[in-house]
Amino acid sequence: MLGDYAAAIAEHGARRATAVMTSAVRDASNGARFAAAVRERLGFEGRTISGDEEARLTYLGATAARDAAAHERLLVIDIGGGSTELVVGEAGEVDFHVSTQVGVVRHSERHLHGDPPGPDELAALAGHVARAFAEAVPAAERERVTAAVAVAGTATQTAGIDLGAENLDVEGHRLSADRLAGILDTLAAVPLERRREVPGLDPERAPTIVAGLIVLIRALEAFGITEVEVSERDLLWGAALELGSDRLSN
Residues 6+ apart with CB under 8 A from 26: 48, 49, 50, 51
pLDDT value of residue 6 = 80
* Structure letter (DSSP) for residue 76: E
Q: In the predicted model, what is the mean pLDDT of residues 226-234?
A: 92
pLDDT value of residue 185 = 97
54 within some domain: no
How, if at all, do strands 147-151 and 227-230 pair? parallel
pTM of the model as a whole: 0.86
19 and 117 part of one domain = no
22 within some domain: yes
6 and 130 part of one domain = no
Q: What is the pLDDT of residues 91-147, one digit of tens each?
A: 778 889 998 888 898 899 989 999 999 999 999 999 999 999 999 999 999 999 999
240 within some domain: no
Q: CA 86, CA 78: separation in Å to the nearest integer? A: 7
243 within some domain: no
154 and 184 part of one domain = yes
Q: CA 116, CA 42: separation in Å to the nearest integer? A: 44
Q: CA 92, CA 96: separation in Å to the nearest integer? A: 12
247 within some domain: no
128 and 34 part of one domain = no
Reduced to 3 states (helix: H, G, I; strand: E, B; else coil), residue 72 is coil
* Structure letter (DSSP) for residue 66: S
Q: Which domain holds residue 178?
A: 67-235
CATH number of the domain bearing residue 169: 3.30.420.150
Q: CA 126, CA 110: separation in Å to the nearest integer? A: 12
Q: What is the CA radius of gyration of the chain?
A: 19
Q: In the predicted model, what is the mean pLDDT of residues 13-42?
A: 78
32 and 82 part of one domain = no
Lowest mean pLDDT among 28-42, 193-207, 215-229: 28-42
Number of domains in the chain: 2
241 within some domain: no
Greater pLDDT, 220 or 250: 220
55 within some domain: no
Identify which of 53, 62, 88, 63 has the alpha carbon closest to the alpha carbon of residue 74.
88
Helices (H), the chain: 2-11, 23-27, 31-42, 51-62, 104-111, 119-136, 139-144, 153-163, 177-188, 192-195, 209-223, 235-249
Q: Which amino acid is present at 226? A: T
22 and 90 part of one domain = no
35 and 73 part of one domain = no
Give the distance, in angstroms, between the CA of residue 62 and the centroid of all CA atoms in the same chain.
10
pLDDT value of residue 250 = 45
Q: In the predicted model, what is the mean pLDDT of residues 154-181?
A: 93
Length of the chain as a residue count: 250
Q: What is the pLDDT of residues 35-60, one digit of tens each?
A: 888 778 877 777 787 778 888 888 88
25 and 87 part of one domain = no
pLDDT at 249 over 60: no
99 and 172 part of one domain = yes
How many Cβ atoms sit within 10 Å of the Cβ of residue 238? 23
27 and 147 part of one domain = no
154 and 213 part of one domain = yes
pLDDT value of residue 248 = 42
163 and 42 part of one domain = no
Q: CA 55, CA 76: separation in Å to the nearest integer? A: 9
153 within some domain: yes
